[in-house]
Structure 1
């Protein structure tokens, strides 16, 4: 469902603010679909919220009834940089109050990832490797999926206009993508997730300087712009009084110096920025409380997980437990036919949880919840943690592990698996062919469902050595011996 808008296209002016308001006004009045604003708390989405409010105030002055709601949705990853999280919560509360005081039809929504999808559970429980440009799993789990769930609840037929603060001058690739998604004859863009929805980018032609100039003209009764600018300045490692506006790529359009408009905000554990997080560095150098502690853990975890596959990854997958073979690039790839690496080693995750809990004690604020720890323990148990180590660590850091049905279930499986491991598996003549952890993994899976273990992959010591040798050499190594699976011995 698309809507043509020839009048607005022909009446665009050089006044960016007027153009943005005209676009929003047109679709608010002429399109039956509600507007849904994506609000991250950063400069671009904040500017969009101000433009929306200005447009609604203009309609009020014209005595035009505001009969349609405008939704403002924020996706809280539960892992934001501390000062941004403070700013974000204050902004959401302020927008709600502003809407009530000025009789604006704004509905503020905050969504969160499910417990099983949080960064803590995915990194420490599932063992997902830190996200990268080619494996950016975090965006869907932490942001997109929670928004999708709420969108489906608000708009069952998927009919809405998503108002976003994407701008062409952010990068060449983003500009190209905007052009590609543009719907000919309209100001709308294709929404590739919902066929009945459209995207509207009212500030797509604005520069970074335009955004900040617009924000500086506003009052702080909607969002604290002074604090937002200070955040960007500090994250850039600069004094706010010395910062200048910058265009895309960090090119200063005033005096040639790198400015403060390109700072990144997001998860304090963001690994998309790879080796070092300059925003964390900037905030730390600006004196924000405890940022040095966050940075210390972040850098420690990054360095720990960036060693080679044979040192950090597991051939075992605790969800499907099948052996997957590398097939990217076809048979010409030197890795073709190698065993695909699975999650990070269990010991790495145990060490990381221990250190994260120590960090939480130092911070005296919550960065991991009991619900997350229970999910982490459930996944660890599936991988052979018969001693329920996550619970042990948690109790040492003042968590009370109540005897809920889920906890009872985990303890029961662990007890039965320990008995099976000790009195059955260890007494088998083949037990020395398998690592202790592999036998424990098998014990858990056998206790949970003995009928399914036949299709699962439990490598012998020799087979795992072969797999890690392939990973080290980064090429498939042919062998004559056919390795047996543990199940063939039973």
Structure 2
């Protein structure tokens, strides 16, 4: 813990104004007038320095495409990836109303927080067909968040045996059942096999992870 060791720390982040109204409000809330540093909203003793706070999206891309990366990467490949995630559109920006290629969002490919992974859909439409099994698995996994199907796929007990009741008296569904967990693993392995037809070395789950899953199922879920 660097705060405990030094008393204070400075975090360098890529936060920018103009990304959203919520982001602007948070930045304003923690900023001190005339000070280059802002307070961190959750870490006491931590300060935040944001060197690109006032950069526009176009400023970011101009910098990335003109200045070589210290690690030797080609940022044109990065721009190409963002272009693919926006259905191939990444025009030269000539005014404030024209969209740039910096509005795509990336994260965990199995994220079920959003209903649709539009970035992955756009990349597939732009020619990355090998990602189709990944999208199909993500969409299948997202469907398990539907409250109407949870009784069929989940247990009402947590792994330590506890039960939770909602404020209106309903059972709160917890972890996936063992049988559904097996089905989920099978679907993942099938997706991996399909992707490997395009990319033979591509791995979604390793043998070490499979051994650990087996160990947990044996010791914690009594899968004899």
2:224 counterpart of 1:224: no
1:163-185, Cα deviation, whole Å (9 max, x unpaired): 11111211000111111122344
- Tell me by how many angstroms 1:215 deviates: 2.4
User: Equivalent residue for 1:469?
Assistant: none
Q: Which of 149, 174, 180 is the equivalent residue of 1:342?
A: 174
Tell me: CA distance 1:220–1:179, structure 2 relative to 1, closer, same or farther (3 Å). Answer: closer
User: Equivalent residue for 1:177?
Assistant: 26
> Structure 1-normalised TM-score?
0.40
- Decide whether the 8 Å contact of 2:2 with 2:8 is kept in 1: no
Tell me: CA distance 1:235–1:155, structure 2 relative to 1, closer, same or farther (3 Å). Answer: farther
Aligned counterparts of 2:119 and 2:40: Cα–Cα separation in 1: 31
- Decide whether the 8 Å contact of 1:280 with 1:295 is kept in 2: yes
User: Equivalent residue for 1:209?
Assistant: 58
Aligned counterparts of 1:349 and 1:218: Cα–Cα separation in 2: 47
2:101 counterpart of 1:260: yes
Aligned counterparts of 1:270 and 1:158: Cα–Cα separation in 2: 36
Aligned counterparts of 2:124 and 2:3: Cα–Cα separation in 1: 40
- Decide whether the 8 Å contact of 1:326 with 1:339 is kept in 2: yes
User: Equivalent residue for 2:161?
Assistant: 321
- Decide whether the 8 Å contact of 2:40 with 2:47 is kept in 1: yes
Aligned counterparts of 1:173 and 1:379: Cα–Cα separation in 2: 41
User: Equivalent residue for 1:353?
Assistant: 185
Alignment of 1:101-180 (within 5 A): 152=1, 156-157=5-6, 159-180=8-29
- Decide whether the 8 Å contact of 2:30 with 2:38 is kept in 1: yes
> Structure 2-normalised TM-score?
0.82
User: Equivalent residue for 1:296?
Assistant: 136
SS of 1:168's equivalent in the other structure is coil
Count matched residues: 216
| Larger RCO, structure (CA 8 Å, separation 6 or more) | 1
1:58-77, Cα deviation, whole Å (9 max, x unpaired): xxxxxxxxxxxxxxxxxxxx
- Structure whose CA Rg is larger: 1
Aligned-CA RMSD value: 2.7
Aligned counterparts of 1:216 and 1:370: Cα–Cα separation in 2: 39
- Tell me by how many angstroms 1:348 deviates: 2.1
- Tell me by how many angstroms 1:239 deviates: 4.5
User: Equivalent residue for 2:211?
Assistant: 374
- Tell me by how many angstroms 1:237 deviates: 0.8
Could you list the runs of 5+ residues in structure 1 that have no partner in the other structure? 1-151, 247-251, 328-334, 387-490
- Decide whether the 8 Å contact of 2:2 with 2:9 is kept in 1: no
Could you list the runs of 5+ residues in structure 2 that have no partner in the other structure? none
